Structure 1
Amino acid sequence: MVSHPDSAIGSRRALLIGVGITVAVFVAGLYWAKWAPYLAKATAAARSHEWSGRDILGVGGVRAGDAPSWAAATGFFEAYVLSIWPALAVALLLSACVQALLPRAWLPRMLNRRGVVSTALAGGAASMPSMMCTCCAAPVAVTLRRSGVTRAAAVAYWLGNPLLNPAVLVFLLFVAPWQWTVTRLVVGVAAVVGIATVVGVLTRRDGLARVGDAVHPAVGDGDAPQPAARRFVTALLRLCVVLLPEYLAIVLLIGATRGWLLSLIEPGHRGLLVVLVAAVLGTLLVIPTAGEIPILQGLALLGVSSGVLGALLITLPAVSLPGVAMVVRGFGWKTVAVTTVMVVAAGMVGAAMLKMLTMLP
C-alpha cells in the first residue's frame, strides 16, 4: 500500500509538534523547578557561605530516639512534599510526554551504546541537566526502561540525578569543607558508572523485547491507536496511579519512624559497624535535593565521625526506600537489589575517603 502524501505530511507535523512540546516541558519545567531556584541558592551560598535550608529529618522537633507518631509522620510528609512537588510534577509530565509524543526508538538509540561502560556513561551524562532527587528521577527512569533503554543506562540516569547533580556540588563547595565536595564528586562518579556497569553485565542476557510492551506507540512508530492528547493523559494517569500511592505511604512511614532511625547513628557510637549502619540507613531515608547538606552539618556539629558523614554523603541522596518502590516494577528485583547493595558499598568507600581526606594536613 502506498502512503498518501497528506498522511506523511501530517505524521511529520505531529512528530514535530510532539518533539516541540516535550522539549518545552523539559526546558520550561526544569527552569521553573530546578535551574532558576538553584541559581538563586548558589548565589546566596557563594555570598554567605552558609546553607539556609533546614534539616528535614528534624522537622517538628523530632530527635534521635523519639517514638513513632502520627505527628512525626505528617510533619515530615508535609515538609518533604512541599520541597519536591515541583520537580515531581515536571518528572511526571516529562515522562508522559516521552511515552506519548516521542518515537519509541529515539531514546534507546541515544543511550544504548555498544559497550556497557559507554552506556553507563551516556545514562549518567543524560542525568546531569535534570538534577532531581532519587524519587523525582524515578518516573523518568521507569519511562526509559519502558521505552527500551537498557538497565545500565536507566540505572545510571536514576543514580546520576542525585549523585552527579552539579548544583549540589556547587552548594557543597560554598558551604561545606572541601573534603566533602571531593568525596562526593569522586565517589559519586565511580558509583554511577560502576554500579550501572555491574547491572549491565549481570542483566546483559535479559531481552529488551518485553520492555516496551506497556507503552503506547508514539508518533513515528506507525499508525497510533489513539490521538496524542489521549495517549498523554493515559500515560500520565498510569504513572500517577502506579507510582504515587505506595511512594507517599512509604514517605509517611519514614517520617513516623525517623526518631528511631536517627538513634542508630548517635554521636557516641564509633567503629566500622556504625559506619555500615549509617550507609544502610542512608539508603532507606528519603530527602529532597541537597537535603543532605543541613543533615550532615548538624551531625558534624554533634561530633559524629567523619566515617558516618562520608557514608551518608553518598547514600542519603543516592537511593531511598520510596524511590526503590517506584522503580522496582520497571527495573526488576535483581537490578534493584544489586543497585542498593552497591550503593551501600559506595557509602563505605565514601566513609573511607572522607576519613582519609580529613586526616590530611
Structure 2
Amino acid sequence: MTTKHRINSVFVYSFLITLFIFLLGLFANYGLDFVRIHALSEVMREQSLSTEAFLTEKMFLTASGDTICVDAPYQVQRLRDELKQVGVDLSTYSTTSWFNKKDFDFLKRKYFLLELRMLALLTQLNKECDEDYVPILFFYQVDDTLSERQGFILDEISESYEGKVLVLSFDKEYKDEPLIMSLRDFYDVTFAPTLIIDLEKKYEGMQYIEELHVVLQNILRVPDPYAINTSFFYGNLTKEKLFQTFAEADDTFLKAESALMLARWEGNITCDVLSFYDLIKPHSSVQEALLFETSASLGCGRNKKAFYREAERVWSEQKNPARSKVAHLLSTGKANIILPFSSNITSVFVIPEQGLIVQRVEETWYGLAEEGVLRFVVPEERVYYPNTRFLRQDMALLLPLPQQLS
C-alpha cells in the first residue's frame, strides 16, 4: 500500500471514529432527555398532587369548621422546596436538550402554573391565617447575565427569611401560557430582571442583597401592626408625666410601659420599644404570660405564634382555661375567632392584674369573663388606652394603668 493510500485510510478511519462518537453522543443525549423528562414529570406530578391534597384538606377542614392554619407553615415550606428544585432542574435540562424542546416547554408551562397556584395559596393563607408570607415575583430573561445574577441573589434572600419570603420565577418572554402574559401585563413588565415584592412594590433592574433586605425588613418588621392609625385616649395623662416616669423608673416593666405609651403618643413607635420588654425578668407567672402576649402583639417580625403558644402554656399551668383557650386560638392564626356570649350582658367590669381580653363584635367591644364567655360591654375609649395590646384587628388585651400613671 502506498503512502498516499495509508494517509487516506487514516483520514477515513478517523472520520468514521469521529462520526461514531458524535452519533453516540447524540443518542446518549436523546436517551438522557427521556430520562430527565420522565424524572421531572414524576416530580411535578407529585408536586401537583401534594398541592391538590393540601387545598382539598383545607376545603374539608374549612367546611367542618376547623382550620388548616396550624399546618400551613410546614406545607408551604415543603411545597416551596420542591418547586425550587424542579425549577433548577428544569432550567438546567432545557438548555442542554437537543431533541425534546417541546417536551421541556410543556413541563415549563406546568411549572409556571404550579407557581401561580402557590401564589394564590400564599395570598389566601395571608388573609385567612394571619400569616405574613412575602411573595417575590421574579421576571427574568433566558440567557441574560443580569437575570442569572439576580436569581443567585434571590436564592440567598429566600434562605435568609426561613420560609417567609418565597421567590416565584417567570420567563418574561414566555407566551405559551396566557396567565403569565396577563401577570406580566398587569405589572407592566418590560425589562429583565424585574421584581414585584409583596404584590405591590415594583423594582426594575439589578437589585442587590442589601437593598432587598431593607425592603423586606420594612414589610416583615412592622411594629405594633394592629394599632396603626389608631387614635389613643390618654385621659389625664400628659406627655411630660410619661417622660418623667420613663426617666425615673427603676422598675423595668414600668419603664417599658411608659416607653410604649410615649412612642404611641408621638406616633413614632419602632421595634426598639420591644427591647425594653426584653429586659424584664418576670416576677410572676402572670407577668411572664403578659410579656409573651406583648411580644406577639407588637410584631416586628417575631414569631407571634410561638409566643402565643408559650402564653397558652403558662395560662394552662395557672389553671386559667379562658386565657389559655384565647392564646391557643391566636397561636393557630385562624382568621375567624368567635368567642361565645354570656346570657347575661353587663356594663360593669374591672380590669384585673392579668388584664382583660376584649373582642369587637360589629361595632361594640365585649370583655371576656373568667368562664370564657363575652359578658362585659366595654366603652371604646377604655379600649384605646395607650397601654392596650392589640392582638388582632378585632381583639385586644386591656391592662390596668400603672399606679404611678393613674
Q: TM-score, normalised by structure 2?
A: 0.28
More relative contact order, 1 or 2 (CA 8 Å, 6+ apart): 1
Bigger proportion of residues as strand: 2
> Which protein is bigger by CA-based radius of gyration?
2
